[in-house]
Each structure stands twice: as C-alpha cells, then as structure tokens.
Chains A and B, each alone.
Chain A
C-alpha cells in the first residue's frame, strides 16, 4: 500500500524536447548562417547573446555528462584522450569532450561540430585549461575566458567594489573581443534581455528547489537532473526561463495536492557533487527502501541562485534584482554580482562555507542523511569534500561516502556502492522492499 499518491511530471517531455532542440540548434547553426560557440555550464552565456538571435552554444559539462551516459562512446573518447597523452585522473567531462574532438564524433550523431569561438569562465584549475586545449586540438580557435577567482561572496566574505569590477571589467573587455572575432556589432538590448532571462532562470530554479522542502517531496534528484540541466545548457535563453516558470507552477501544484516523487517516502537524503552518470539506477535502488534524495547543493546551487543567511542559518533563493539592466556597464556588474553569489562557487575558497550551506539544507529540507560522492571525475566539486564530511558529522548529521567518477565508469564500483548504501540506509531502521 503506497504511503503517498504519485504521478508523472507533466512537463517531462517538454524538458526533453528543449534539451534536444538545444543540441540540434548548435549542430545546425552554420546551415542557417548562424554562429556557434563553446563554453562551460558556468559561463556568462548572456554575453554572446548580444551578438544576435542566431548564436548557439555547446556547454561542455552537460556534453561530457551526455557522453558519460553512453558507456561505449565514453570509453572511446577517454582512450583517445589518454592516447594523446592526457592523464587519466583529469576531469572526466574534459576527457570525454577532448576525446570527441580527437575521434571527431558528436555524441548526438555526426562529426564533432567545431565552434567558431570559445567563451569560458575559470573556476577550478581545469576550466580555462580545458578550453585552452580545445583551442589547441581544433587548430587554434579564438578563446576568451573570465576569471571568477575574486573571492567568496557575502556573508562568507566582504565583497568590495574592486572584486565586482574585476569580473565585470573582464566581461566588458570580452564584449569588445566578441565584436572583434565575429565581426558583428554587439546588440545591448539583446544582451539586457539575456541577462534578465539568466536572473529569471536561476532564481526560479532555486524556488523550485525550495518546493522540495515539502514532505512528501514532489521531486526526487534523478528527475531533477533532467530539469536543472536546462540552465546548464543556456540559462539566458528565454525558452529555459519560461520553462522554469511553468515548472514552478506544476511542482507547486504537486505540493498543494500532496503528490510525491517516491510513493513510499520514509527517509530523505541529499547527495553531493555530480552523480556517476552511467549509474543513475542507484537512485531507483534507494527508492526500494523508501529513500528519496531530495537534491543536493549541486542540483540546487550549480545553477540555482541562493543566499545563505548567517543569522537564521538558512539557505533561501535569491530574489530577482529590482530592475532590468539599462546600460552595458550596469548589466556586466549585475551579472558579476549575481554569479559570484553562486552557492557552488563558495567552497572553492573554503569548505566550511559549503558545510554551512549543506547543514542549512538538512535543516530546511527535513533531511535525514547525507551521501557524499567522492567524485574522482571532478576536482572542482570534490575540493574540500573530506572537510565537509567532518563538518557535517560535527553538526550531528549522518553521513556516508562513496567513491566514484561522474564520467568515467572505470572508476565506479557499482556492487560496492550498493553495499554501502544498504549499510547506510539500514542505520535508519528501514528495510528494502522487493
């Protein structure tokens, strides 16, 4: 007998269609006389939007994850990257991406579509180097990269004008660079609109995540991966911003009607870092125990814009800015300030900031336990993870760890992970239903 009612998400197919359209737009951009560029999921995609309405992007992390899901293709890519001389312990998304170039195959079919320029931002040790090597492997594509290393955001650190200036001024220089490499005049109106869509997408996604505080949770993390990904593709795309508005209404309706993602929800957990993409079935396995993963700082805060409230020890969505930008300078400063606040960026400065945010999530989302993925595939999101474990334990949270790799299945031991999950979930006094 099910404890809660459940039903499929009505917008599921629409999310899939948007994703499919995105990758197709990129592949066919040149056929329509358009421009295509490549950059990371964290990058300021609102800026190239100012080049016109026929400008399409390919973001690298979601691409690397798509490759990872296709085990044979991933192996081919990884072996090509290793044969070139790249170390096997480097970011697995990066190796999947470089491998695609080396074998000249696009995971969605056809040869790998070469971008016209590279527009990236630098957050971890690999982000700029990733694109430096794309440029090298593709024979010298023009590259621009914005350094985000201006320090942590409030309340973890004071944010001074010079820190905002550093990022905003790099964006302003980047606009001039874009005009130079594409020969196009930059359209500020399109840029302002794209900025606003970025703010809408990322603020609204955070609000959707907040709805998962409800018991039963209206969404579970495996499904959330297919939803948050749209913001990693192009958060400044109106289609994405509008979709999140629609999604918010549907998820709110599920909460109002008590619709659960997992009908026998008993234990609520959160995870951390990217999952092993080729093994998402572990989430379904956990459901046999009545365990629902209600999200993670990764699914919430990679694209969702939250603010940590030190006084209340709360993690809440960041409201939209009071008004749209009206000048190029203002837009760049608003973008810089907005993205410095990104929750997933804070732990690059200190793991304690992440611990505080995760602990607040545990409190507000009614979480019983934390599953930390010691992810060999991503140094950026695994940095400080061992200290996060200690910090959460110190605060009385139940924590388990499992080791793996988001994009390289050779480093994931499924049987061992399942055994660890069994042991962890049994500590909550629950048993698996067959």
Chain B
C-alpha cells in the first residue's frame, strides 16, 4: 500500500539519495539542519536538500566536539557525519536555528569535507515587521552563492516551478492530515511521521506522486478500526522516535492514537505555503516567516501556543504528550506554560524527556498511567 512507501524511504534514506544522484548527475545534494532552509531556491538551482537526522543509536564520536549539555539530537546528527553515513553530500547549509543544532553544522564544517557550505542568518524576531526585508536580502545572497557553486542560473521560471512543487507537497500533506480529523482516522501517528519526515529526505516530485495515490486511492476507504481510541496530540522538539510512537500506539489497556502534532518533523514543516507574487524572493521570505514557529523564534508573543490549541480543538484531542529533547532550551522555556494552557482548556498533558535512546519500559508505564486518567470514566 502507498502509506507503507514512506517508511521504506525513511529507512532507506541514504540509498535513495545515492540512487537519486546516479539518476540525476546534473543535480547536487545538500544536507540541511533544522527546517528553515529555503528549499525553493535549492530546487531552482538543481540542488536536492536532504534533512540530516540522527539514527537513534549509541555513539562515541561526538564527545570531543559538542559539550554534553547540548541536546542529544544535535550530537546524533553530527555522529552521522563523523561516521561517514552522509558521504554522498556535496554540501551542507543551515538556516540559523537553535544553538544546539548549529553546533552540528559548525562541527561538520570543521571536520567533514564538502564542496559547499552556507550559513544563512535566518532571523529570530519573526514578529518584527523588519524580518521580511532582512530575510529577502539574505535569500538574494544565498541565491547568488548557489548560482556560483552550481553554475545554474536561478530564473523566475525555475523558481516558479520549484514553488509549485513544494506548495503541492504542502497542500497534499495538509489533505492527508485532514483525514486524521475523522472519528476513525485512517492513519496512525507513526505513519504520519513517516509520511512527513520522508518528504524531507526525497525529491518532492517523487513524494507528491505517492501522496496523490495515498489521498485518492487509499485513505478514503482505509479502516484501521481505531474510532474508539483515545485521541492524542504530540508536540515539542524534533521527534522521529519510531520506537516511542509505536509503543504508545500499541498499548492495549487504553488504546490511543496520535491524530495531530506540532513538530518540525510533522505539521510545523509543511503547514503553510508560499503565496505567489511577482517578487518571488519576498514571497518565499514571507512563507518562512509566517510558518508555525520553532519556540526559539516565537517571541515576544507565543503564537505557537495559540496555533497548537487550535490544532487540538480542530482535531478533537483528548490528551497531549509534550516531548522534549533533553537540554532543548527553547522548548524547556515553553513547556510549563504550554502545560498550564492545555490543562486550562481541559486537555490533560504528559511531559516526557527524550534522549537518543528512549527508555521504552519506563515511558510505557507513564504513558499507560496517563491514558488511564483520560479514560477514568470507564474505569470507575
């Protein structure tokens, strides 16, 4: 079935990239950190961006490079490079994000040879009217750097085509997420995670083809028989922890499914589109500024909180699981406030801290207890 395709691409991300390179020798592949990278420009320059994620395995190669007080995700990401798993990359780039993953980029830059490296100072003060002009100017510089490196001129036509490919992907992902509003969702949280994360690792045209088939041929009639399951939301820092999601969704005592999320490996990545306008770079800048923010860029107002409460309402959520990478400062600053706001709306919360490896046994006990509180009416 189509939905299973995503898992395959997620697990075979390196094979896909290497194969892509063989099939498209005129394209280059650039590894990216975080999700603020302007994909449209890269596609228009025939550069395939692939997001570098960790492998959730113990490793002993990053200790000399990143102090242990930084998040396990950034160390896991760097470990992939130091272990040579991304040896097919032609370049790396980061659009300024949190300090943690910025270190993955800078250590990669120092120790792993690539042809192209680029640091784009993506603004943090997204709520300032000044952010758009600044980002547009930075996109101009990035455009020139890509042109110089690849030798490919980024024309308006190429940009329009790239915008449309990416917008289509975002539209289709939103459509797939809409199916999850149903009383009996045709997709689990884990499947949704595979669906979104795989789009960060493959060419969007390939991804769009699978998505179209999924939406037209599979989801409308797919019955997982989970209409009576507890509806959960998952939110927080980067999360592609398959084992954890699978554990929660296979608990049998009080079965539950994730029906919506706010993660950079989930809805936050694709939620809004580029609104086309004559000034293409400004249109792109506005898209990245207006997307649901990472907490490190969400100030002075907490716009993400309002967005997340709306998601919880629209997807009829009963409980929220707040996941946070250990040491993730931006989320740690938000979590107590988010928990209070969710509880005020009558949505119970469970907070769990992630490391590279998840203590599934302990988390299972805590999750089961949490689910029990959500179904207490049935118990007593």
On A, residues with C-beta under 8 Å from B are 84-87, 89-91, 122, 124-126, 128-133, 135-136, 143-147, 149-151, 160, 162-163, 165-166, 169-170, 173, 348-352, 374, 376, 379-380, 382-387, 389-390
Contacts and interface: CB of A to CB of B under 8 A. Distances in A.
Interface of B: 63-67, 69-70, 96, 98-100, 102-103, 106-107, 109-110, 119, 121-125, 128-131, 133-134, 137-138, 141, 295-296, 299-300, 302, 326-327, 329-330, 332-337, 339
B330 A125 contact: yes
Q: Which of A165, A350, A374 has its CB near the most chain B CB atoms (within 10 A)?
A: A350
Nearest to B334: A129
B19 to A, nearest CB: 33
A376 B300 contact: no
A162 B125 contact: no
Given A90-B329, A389-B64, 9 more contacts: A87-B335, A91-B329, A126-B329, A129-B330, A135-B300, A379-B327, A383-B70, A383-B103, A385-B67
A55 to B, nearest CB: 20
Nearest to A390: B64
A351 B69 CA distance: 16
Contacts of B133: 162, 165-166
Contact of B109 (A91, A126, A350, A382): A350
A173 B130 CA distance: 9
A151 B121 contact: yes
Contacts of B99: 124-125, 348, 379-380, 383
A37 B119 CA distance: 35
Contacts of B131: 147, 166
Contacts of A348: 99, 102
A85 B339 contact: yes
A132 B69 CA distance: 23
A163 B134 contact: yes
Contact of B69 (A85, A136, A166, A376): A376
Contact of B335 (A85, A122, A166): A85
A89 B134 contact: no
16 contacts: A85-B339, A86-B333, A145-B125, A145-B299, A150-B134, A162-B133, A162-B137, A169-B130, A170-B128, A173-B129, A351-B103, A351-B110, A352-B106, A380-B99, A387-B65, A387-B106
Given A129-B295, A144-B300, A382-B67, A350 B106 contact: yes
Contacts of A90: 329, 332-333
A385 B141 CA distance: 29
Contacts of A385: 67
Q: Which 6 A-B pairs have the closest CB atoms?
A: A85-B336, A147-B125, A162-B137, A129-B333, A166-B134, A151-B121
Contacts of A126: 329-330, 333
A350 B333 contact: no
Contact of B64 (A151, A165, A386): A386
Contact of A125 (B141, B296, B337): B296
Contacts of B327: 89, 379
B137 A160 contact: yes
B337 A133 contact: yes
Contacts of A125: 98-100, 296, 329-330
A411 B23 CA distance: 53
Contacts, number: 144
A90 to B, nearest CB: 5
Given A173-B128, A380-B99, A384-B103, A87 B332 contact: yes
A87 B324 CA distance: 11
Given A150-B134, A162-B138, A145 B300 contact: yes
A149 B335 contact: no
Nearest to B295: A129
A386 B69 CA distance: 11
B294 to A, nearest CB: 10
Nearest to B106: A350
A149 B123 contact: yes
A164 to B, nearest CB: 10
A142 B98 CA distance: 25
Contacts of A349: 119, 121
B108 to A, nearest CB: 11
Nearest to B137: A162
Contacts of B295: 129
Contact of A143 (B96, B102, B300, B326): B300
Contacts of A150: 121, 123, 134
B378 to A, nearest CB: 29
B320 to A, nearest CB: 15
Contacts of A145: 125, 299-300
Contacts of B96: 149
A350 B96 CA distance: 11
B106 A128 contact: no
Nearest to B296: A125
Nearest to A161: B137
Contacts of B137: 160, 162-163
Contacts of B326: 89
Contacts of A384: 103, 106
A113 B121 CA distance: 36
Contacts of A380: 99
Contacts of B121: 149-151, 163, 349
Contact of A129 (B63, B125, B138, B299): B299
Nearest to A376: B69
Nearest to A380: B99
A204 to B, nearest CB: 30
A86 B332 CA distance: 7
Contacts of A386: 63-67
Contacts of A387: 65, 103, 106-107, 110
Contacts of A165: 130, 133-134
A63 B138 CA distance: 36
Given A126-B333, A147-B128, A170-B125, A350 B119 contact: yes
Contact of A383 (B102, B125, B335): B102
A349 B337 CA distance: 29
Contacts of B334: 129
A376 B329 CA distance: 12
Contacts of A86: 332-333, 336
Contacts of B70: 379, 383
Contacts of A379: 69-70, 99-100, 327, 329
Contacts of B302: 132
Nearest to B301: A132
Contacts of B122: 149
A125 B101 CA distance: 11
A128 B124 contact: yes
B329 A132 contact: no
Q: Which of B67, B107, B138, B332 has its CB near the most chain A CB atoms (within 10 A)?
A: B67
B233 to A, nearest CB: 19
Given A126-B329, A173-B130, A390-B65, A84 B98 contact: no
